[in-house]
Structure 1
Amino acid sequence: MKALILSGGHGTRLRPLTYSQQKQLIPVANKPVLFYAIEDVIEVGIREIGIIVGPNANMVREAVLREEWDAEIEFIHQGEPRGLAHAILVARDFLGDEDFVMYLGDNILREGIVGHKEHFEKGNYDASILLQEVPNPSQFGVVELSEDGKTIKRLVEKPKNPPSNLALVGIYFFKPVIHEAVRHIKPSWRNELEITDAIQWLIDHGYRVGWTKVTGWWKDTGKPEDLLDANRLILDDIETDIRIHTNARIHGRVVIGEGSEIDESTVIKGPVVIGRNVRIRNSYIGPYTSIGDNVVIENTEIEDSIILQDSEIRNAGRIVESLIGRGVKIINGTSHPLGRKLVVGDNSRIIL
């Protein structure tokens, strides 16, 4: 089995951050979202991975190749994104005639995909999809099951009147017959080749399409609030790993990277992840905060936030539920400390 991981698109819902970086490279708990997908497919024994890239192809390639992976990785340029089924067309040469899993690179799945792969293989399905119950099914691709709940009757992309609350998670297992399906479908009203239409083609032509339900949490990290939510969920599972000596007051589960300097007047209340070569002075770092490498924080309270690498935050009062890009400078002028919620793009400068 091979893997096809999608890391293209423009990430418009995450602007301004995605004006200068690929959305799948935004870190959650100090790890790019894309890396969670790569780890999941390697965990199930897949050793050939194709990554679909688009506007920021070089950025994705450089980030992935900086790490050592127990797999061969090939980058496949999609150009203008024209739907998930189009990605399969573009990757035809890489995929060959082997089974494969297609994994949207902005998804994070706590339980991984081991059990879902086993279901696909043991059931000898032509395709198998992951589903989860959601409160807002009209925002997703949705399935309608048979009366006994065993088989899929139809799939609908973002329906106004959803037939169920079972949404497609964004992870799919396919046999090579899917290549025939994607060649036969037409662009949707969005002018995209929809994967839901390709799977529906399989159903309509008598192929076996199975499904499994996600039992743990799943996050589609397409919006700032989704990234912050995923950050909370992942930080809930961390274990303490402090690689420096510090007299800071530390409570709860905290990870601190090598080379960081945190003074005795700082309080850290976990779960918190702090990267390497971070300097923190006279500050409070509250629960569910991730701080990237080479960040400077002074005289500031930060809680429930993601701070990307190389940023500088001084005398900024209290910052909550915020997503701060790379190389950002936030400096307080004369205002009194107030609670602030921010989504700040890379290399910005804010004087409060």
Structure 2
Amino acid sequence: MKALVLSGGSGTRLRPITHTLAKQLVPVGNKPVLFYGLEAIAAAGVTETGIVVGDTRAQIEAAVGDGSRFGLDVTYVWQREPLGLAHAVKTARDFLGDDDFVLYLGDNVVLDGITDFVERFRECRPAAQILLARVDDPRQFGVAQVAADGRVTGLQEKPRHPRSDLAVVGVYLFSAAVHKAVAEIEPSARGELEITDAIQWLIDHDLRTDAGVMTGYWKDTGNVPDMLEVNRLVLRSLEPSTAGLVLDSEISGQVVVGPGARVTGSSIVGPAVIGAGTTVTNSRIGPSTSIAEDCRIADSWIRDSIVMPRASITGVRPLESSLIGQDVEIARTPGPSGAHRLVLGDRSQVRVAS
């Protein structure tokens, strides 16, 4: 079995961050979203992995390399345009050959992993198996209808009147039969080859498609609120540790202070992580906050936020529910104070009243 991880796309809902950074590399818990998927694939015993890349190929390759750090053997597959999930499968045809494969969307996080899902596919060997999750508002997702025996009998894409509350999660398992389906379907109204259409083709041709309904946490990290939600969940699973230097400071709850970090005269309220080489001075960090490596935080209060590498934040109280890009500088300017909520792309410079 192989894996195909989709890491193209423009990430428009995460702009301005994604003007300069691949959306799959935005960190939660100080680790790129993409890495959670790669780790889940490796844990499921799948090693030969293709990563479909587009315009951000150089960034993805620099971050992942040959995959050996994850226990994977990675091949990069160039997709000229993001023309649908089924188009990505078609583009990767030579890499996939006639092997079974996991299709994993690189901006999805499945905290409990996919091992059970993969093992079930290996045992039952259907033409396809899709992962589903119950959601409150199925109109925002692909929706599956499932028979009592676990077979998928139909799919709807963002229906106005859903026939179930089972949303399609961004993890799929396929046999080589899917390549015939991909070759037969036509582009949708939005000009893309839809994987839901390929799955429906399999169903219509009496090729068994099974469903697995997950009970753990899953999220498509396509926008800032979802990214912050995943960050909160991931931080709660951290084991507290202090590898850096903590002076005249109060640490409470689940807090990780990375190697080379220095916390002085500050309060860190978990769950929170302070990245390697970061300095925190006379500040309050947390809860639910990730500060990446080599940041400089002084005289500030940051909560429920993600701060990316090499950011500098001085004299801002409070900063909350924010996503701060790489190399951003935020400093205080005289004026009325109040809470600040920011989404700043790389190398921004902001002056706020605080």
TM-score normalised by the shorter chain: which range applies? over 0.9
Shift of the 66–187 alpha-carbon distance from structure 1 to 2, 3 Å rule, reads closer
Distance 1:185 1:160 in 2: 23
Mapped pair 1:107 → 2:108: yes
Distance 1:104 1:201 in 2: 21
Distance 1:165 1:119 in 2: 23
Distance 1:55 1:302 in 2: 33
Distance 1:20 1:143 in 2: 35
Answer whether contact 1:151 1:210 (CA < 8 A) is retained: yes
Distance 2:187 2:42 in 1: 32
- Please give the per-residue CA displacement for 1:279-300, whole angstroms capped at 9, x wherever unaligned: 1110000111000111001110
Match of 2:83 in 1: 82
Shift of 1:149: 6.0
One-letter code of the match for 2:115? V
Distance 1:198 1:245 in 2: 54
1:94 alignment partner, SS class: helix
Match of 1:313 in 2: 313
Shift of 1:66: 8.2
Distance 1:191 1:49 in 2: 27
Moved more, 35-44 or 63-72: 63-72
Percent identity, please: 45
One-letter code of the match for 1:313? I
One-letter code of the match for 1:345? G
Match of 2:296 in 1: 296
Distance 2:349 2:137 in 1: 36
1:164 alignment partner, SS class: coil
Return 5+ residue gaps in structure 2 as ranges.
none
Distance 2:123 2:183 in 1: 27
Answer whether contact 2:257 2:274 (CA < 8 A) is retained: yes
Mapped pair 1:132 → 2:143: no
Answer whether contact 1:317 1:332 (CA < 8 A) is retained: no
Distance 1:27 1:270 in 2: 18
Distance 1:251 1:188 in 2: 52
Q: Number of residue pairs matched?
A: 350
Where do residues 153-232 of structure 1 align in structure 2 (5 Å cutoff)?
Answer: 153-232=153-232
Match of 1:259 in 2: 260
- Please give the per-residue CA displacement for 1:254-283, whole angstroms capped at 9, x wherever unaligned: 1111111111x2000101011111011100
Match of 1:278 in 2: 278
Match of 1:46 in 2: 46
1:199 alignment partner, SS class: helix
Shift of the 24–246 alpha-carbon distance from structure 1 to 2, 3 Å rule, reads same
Distance 1:326 1:66 in 2: 24
Answer whether contact 2:245 2:261 (CA < 8 A) is retained: no
Distance 1:54 1:245 in 2: 41
Distance 1:55 1:138 in 2: 30
Distance 1:150 1:35 in 2: 30
1:330 alignment partner, SS class: strand
Distance 1:342 1:298 in 2: 18
Answer whether contact 2:128 2:172 (CA < 8 A) is retained: yes
1:317 alignment partner, SS class: coil
Shift of 1:253: 1.1
Distance 1:333 1:269 in 2: 26
Shift of 1:159: 1.2
Distance 1:80 1:66 in 2: 23
1:332 alignment partner, SS class: strand
The TM-score, its normalising length taken from structure 1, stands at: 0.98
Match of 1:35 in 2: 35
Cα RMSD (Å) of the superposition?
A: 1.1
Match of 1:349 in 2: 349
Distance 1:207 1:149 in 2: 15
Return 5+ residue gaps in structure 1 as ranges.
none
2:310 alignment partner, SS class: coil
Shift of 1:245: 2.9
Where do residues 61-80 of structure 1 align in structure 2 (5 Å cutoff)?
Answer: 61-65=61-65, 68-80=69-81
Answer whether contact 1:317 1:336 (CA < 8 A) is retained: no
One-letter code of the match for 1:206? D
Shift of 1:79: 1.1
2:131 alignment partner, SS class: strand
